[in-house]
Amino acid sequence: MLYLFVISMVLNSGSVMAADKTIGVIMIPNIPYYEEMHKAFTETLLSEAIAEKKASSSNILEAEIIVQKPLPDSISLMNTARKFDAVGVTIIVSYGAPSTLAAVGEQSTIPVVFAGVFDPRGVGISLKNATGISSKVSVSTLLKKLKSISNFSKLGVLYSDTEKDTLLQAEEVKKLEESMGFKSVMLNIKRAQDTAKITGVDALLITTSCPTQYCISNIIDIARKANIPTATLTGTEEDKGVLLTITANPQEQGREAAKLVIKLLKGAKASSLPVVEPGKVDMIINLKEASSMGLKVPFDLLSSATKIIK
């Protein structure tokens, strides 16, 4: 059997011996959206490596994948990037803005390929030795569709002030207040206890921040008790009770990241590879959740959904 990739488990501590070609992956743990990306990433790499081997007997795509799962605080992320720099990995792959900012900020010699970054340029990611796929979707579209389900007047925005991409999302919401006829309440969520701030609003927007993903069960419990409809920009949370999701498809994010890594392994420079815009955007409606709140989802919204939970 041909083993083209060795998938290493999480490295909690200690030094790592880098192979001839090594891909270091920074993936904040316990976020299903990133896990789906990574699954598609590794499957695409393996498939392409096998095809390359059969076609030309070339070993050019053979590499070891080392996955580290640091907590989403800046120190843990920076230490992970430094460790990959110290062992001399060939390429760093990062999921999400916090991981990517650490990867490009702590070293400059190793090319970085990112996925799941809402607005790469907006958060200040240097593209001198980095490329990837953006996960930016329209905040305006999400809120317009949420308003067609529930005509909210006060929107709670759950974000983290330590994550630049969620700050950008919160700023976009602020700009839409007058034109869409609502007021926003910014709720900085850093830990589970902060979800107690959710009060006095009639809808919730859950940004891409890591703390909100970790607290999603608490958030949904509060929303259900108060009959507050929820919307999010991050996929894979719809089964937990989020009413409306508009998100960049995680499988596409992983596949496109893999394609960029393949180009780098074949000799391309990261600076020559433009950032890819998301081509597949998922809209997921939890009809079961809407019905339990006594809300009707317009037919045109249902007909354009990529997934409906009944």
Q: What is the pLDDT of residues 15-41, one digit of tens each?
A: 333 448 999 999 999 999 999 999 999
- Find residue 310's DSSP bridge partners: none
258: tokens are: 């893999």
Q: Does domain 139-248+282-309 have CATH number 2.60.120.310?
A: no
Query: Does the pTM of the predicted model rise above 0.85?
Result: yes
Residues of the chain with CATH 3.40.50.2300: 5-135+250-280, 139-248+282-309
CB of 114 closer than 8 Å to CB of 93: yes
Minimum mean pLDDT range among 45-59, 173-187, 205-219, 281-295: 45-59
Tell me the one-letter amino acid at 61: L
The whole-number pLDDT of residue 1 equals 30
C-alpha–C-alpha distance, residues 157 and 176, integer Å: 13
Environment class of residue 261 by beta-carbon count within 10 Å: exposed (0-12), middle (13-18) or buried (19+)?
Answer: buried
Sign of dihedral through CA atoms 189, 209, 94, 52?
positive
Residue range 169-179: average pLDDT?
98
Q: Which residues of 243-260 are buried (b: 16+ CB within 10 A; e: fewer)?
A: bbbbbbbbbbbbbbbbbb
CB of 115 closer than 8 Å to CB of 136: no
Nearest one of 224, 201, 205 to 145, comparing CA atoms: 205
First vs last Cα of the chain: how many Å apart?
43
The whole-number pLDDT of residue 190 equals 94
Q: How many Cβ atoms from other residues are within 10 Å of residue 57's Cβ?
A: 7
Minimum mean pLDDT range among 47-51, 136-140, 253-257, 271-275: 47-51
Residue range 245-250: average pLDDT?
97
Name which residue leads in pLDDT, 5 or 168: 168
Q: What is the pLDDT of residues 52-69, one digit of tens each?
A: 888 887 777 888 999 999
C-alpha–C-alpha distance, residues 234 and 252, integer Å: 14
Nearest one of 256, 230, 265 to 152, comparing CA atoms: 230
In CATH terms, 5-135+250-280 corresponds, of 1.10.760.10, 3.10.180.10, 3.30.565.10, 3.40.50.2300, to 3.40.50.2300
Q: Per-residue confidence at 262, pLDDT binned at 50, 70, 90?
A: very high
Residue 164: pLDDT over 60? yes
Name which residue leads in pLDDT, 14 or 137: 137
Residue 3: pLDDT over 60? no
Minimum mean pLDDT range among 75-84, 123-132, 234-243, 269-278: 234-243
The whole-number pLDDT of residue 288 equals 95
